[in-house]
Amino acid sequence: MRKIINWLVFMLLISAAIFFWWRYYFVFGEGVKAGTLNFVVRKGTLFKTYEGRMIQTGYKSMVPGSVQSNEFDFSIIEKGVAEKLLLAGGKNVEIKYKEYHGALPWRGVSKYIVDSIISIDDPRPNLPSPY
């Protein structure tokens, strides 16, 4: 009887470890998104993480009959990528991201993690300042 209980506890621990890995470390999807960078901020109470939002062209609606802008919220792990995006507010950016099933507090509040920047374009012309 003791062997069976030990075996069941062992299998339960292995199952919990596999579920944790699948939920928080298995890359569910990878992709590229493009749009206008709205903001990037560093925030958090215990874990300081970089969070951002990008506004994509077009509209989507969660509720039928209503209109909502198409926003993409994401987290950034690498400080170098975050610093480049901090300077790109209002510019058109193309970013590469990974999607996980769940978010971890030290990784950010979003399940979408930006890992690299493909391009940054400034749609505004370089006009001389009138001042």
Assign residue 83 the CATH number of its domain.
2.40.50
With respect to residue 107, please indicate whether it lies within any of the assigned structural domains.
yes
Cα angle 40, 41, 45 (rounded to 5 degrees) comes to 150
- Per the model's pLDDT, the better-predicted residue between 52 and 69 turns out to be 52
**What is the number of structural domains in the chain?**
1
Predicted local confidence at residue 1, as pLDDT: 84
β-bridge mates for residue 100, sequence order: 27
pTM: 0.79
With respect to residue 85, please indicate whether it lies within any of the assigned structural domains.
yes
Question: Residue 15's pLDDT band (boundaries 50, 70, 90)?
Answer: very high
With respect to residue 86, please indicate whether it lies within any of the assigned structural domains.
yes
Question: Residue 124's pLDDT band (boundaries 50, 70, 90)?
Answer: confident
Per residue in 33-48, pLDDT (tens digit) is: 999 999 999 998 899 9
Question: Cβ(104)–Cβ(23) under 8 Å?
Answer: no
Give the mean model confidence (pLDDT) for residues 90-101. 94
